[in-house]
């Protein structure tokens, strides 16, 4: 009887420890759900069709009005560029224009076109530019230029971060066709006493082709001299009315998504 009982004890002990061992093994084995998260849930955004803005975009130019823009030299004045047929065209006499609002980090979409029979060469052919942030001491320009069969310094051709980064490739279409810029901008950050904490970075696609891959800016883009950083916060975006004598360029479909 006692040996039967002993056997029973042993069997129960073995079974119990086997169960505990296998269950603890099962608990320590990684499971797919250990690395799955369900919050936060991304907000639903209705996408555009490539040209029309997504549902959460801030529309800066809808083809009808320059209400979001002012004269860059005197922000109390209207922008003064020509709006016609769903486009806005540079008015060189009016000068640069800038957004009424200020922005920090964003995704920006814009389209531009130079006239089909544009004249001039080098920096004097369809020169404009988008300043991703503009403030009294400077700004950061991604170059707009007719760089289709048009030689210039490569860190000043279309899609360059002006005089800092040459575009990776040149995906421009011929004059008379629309060029599409998609830009992801992360503004620089500064400490309270004005020291650079984090440089600005920019990613640029032209006509869907990557030309700047999250490059870190060396400071403001300068025509003469080396870039440096000066502290600033959220800032307007500026479009350049370049003084060259070539026929003026046009823009359409400008929108951004603050990040």
Q: How far apart are CA 131 and CA 133, in angstroms?
A: 5
Q: How far apart are CA 207 and CA 88, in angstroms?
A: 20
- How many residues interact with Mg ion (rule CB under 5 A)? 3
Q: How far is the CB of 223 from Mg ion (least distance, A)?
A: 9
The contacts found for 77-81 with CB under 8 angstroms, 24 or more apart, are 81/241
User: x/- site string to Mg ion, residues 79 to 108, per CB under 5 A?
Assistant: ------------------------------
The Cβ-side half-sphere exposure at 191, using a 13 Å CA radius, reads 4
Task: Give the range of 5-13, 125-133, 182-190, 206-214 binding Mg ion by CB under 5 A.
Answer: 125-133
Report if residue 156 touches Mg ion, rule: CB under 5 A: no
Closest to Mg ion by CB, 53 or 129: 129
Q: How far is the CB of 249 from Mg ion (least distance, A)?
A: 10
Report if residue 138 touches Mg ion, rule: CB under 5 A: no
Q: How far is the CB of 142 from Mg ion (least distance, A)?
A: 9
Query: Phi first, then psi: what are they for 101, rounded to 5°?
Result: -90, 160
Q: How far is the CB of 143 from Mg ion (least distance, A)?
A: 5
| Cβ 176 vs Cβ 113: under 8 Å | yes
Closest to Mg ion by CB, 53 or 248: 248
What is the number of the residue whose Cβ is closest to Mg ion? 129
Spell out the residues 6+ positions from residue 110 whose beta carbon is closer than 8 angstroms to its own: 130, 180, 181, 183, 251, 253, 254
Inter-CA distances, 19 with 5, 7, 13, 27, 253, Å: 21, 18, 10, 12, 66
- The tokens describing 33, both together, are 């759900």
Query: Phi first, then psi: what are they for 98, rounded to 5°?
Result: -140, 160
Q: How far is the CB of 156 from Mg ion (least distance, A)?
A: 8
Q: How far is the CB of 149 from Mg ion (least distance, A)?
A: 18
| Cβ 100 vs Cβ 69: under 8 Å | yes
Q: How far is the CB of 154 from Mg ion (least distance, A)?
A: 14
Cβ neighbour number for residue 231 with a 10 Å cutoff:
16
DSSP helix/strand/coil, 160: coil
Q: Which of 53, 95, 126, 129 binds Mg ion (CB under 5 A)?
A: 129
Closest to Mg ion by CB, 53 or 175: 175
Task: Give the range of 89-97, 106-114, 120-128, 225-233 binding Mg ion by CB under 5 A.
Answer: 120-128
| Residues in 201-240 that interact with Mg ion by CB under 5 A | 240
Spell out the residues 6+ positions from residue 5 whose beta carbon is closer than 8 angstroms to its own: none
Report if residue 53 touches Mg ion, rule: CB under 5 A: no
Closest to Mg ion by CB, 129 or 248: 129
Instruction: Enumerate binding residues for Mg ion (CB under 5 A).
Output: 127, 129, 240
């Amino acid at each position: 009887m006692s040996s039967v009982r002993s056997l029973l004890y042993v069997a129960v002990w073995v079974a119990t420890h086997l169960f505990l061992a296998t269950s603890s093994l099962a608990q320590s084995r990684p499971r797919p759900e250990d690395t799955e998260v369900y919050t936060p849930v991304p907000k639903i955004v209705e996408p555009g069709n490539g040209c029309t803005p997504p549902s959460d975009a801030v529309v800066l130019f809808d083809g009808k009005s320059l209400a979001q823009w002012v004269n860059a030299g005197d922000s109390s004045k209207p922008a003064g560029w020509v709006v016609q047929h769903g486009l806005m065209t540079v008015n060189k006499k009016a000068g640069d224009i800038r957004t009424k609002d200020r922005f920090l980090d964003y995704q920006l979409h814009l389209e531009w076109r130079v006239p089909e029979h544009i004249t001039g060469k080098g920096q004097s052919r369809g020169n404009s530019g988008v300043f991703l942030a503009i403030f009294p001491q400077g700004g950061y320009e991604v170059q707009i230029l007719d760089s289709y069969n048009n030689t210039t310094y490569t860190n000043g051709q279309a899609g360059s971060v002006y005089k800092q980064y040459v575009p990776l490739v040149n995906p421009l279409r011929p004059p008379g066709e629309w060029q599409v810029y998609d830009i992801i901008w992360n503004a620089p950050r500064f400490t309270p006493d004005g020291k650079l904490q984090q440089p600005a970075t920019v990613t640029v696609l032209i006509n869907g082709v990557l030309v700047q891959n999250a490059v870190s800016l060396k400071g403001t883009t300068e025509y003469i001299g080396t870039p440096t950083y000066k502290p600033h916060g959220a800032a307007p975006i500026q479009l350049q009315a370049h003084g060259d004598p070539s026929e003026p360029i046009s823009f359409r479909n400008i929108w951004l998504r603050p990040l």
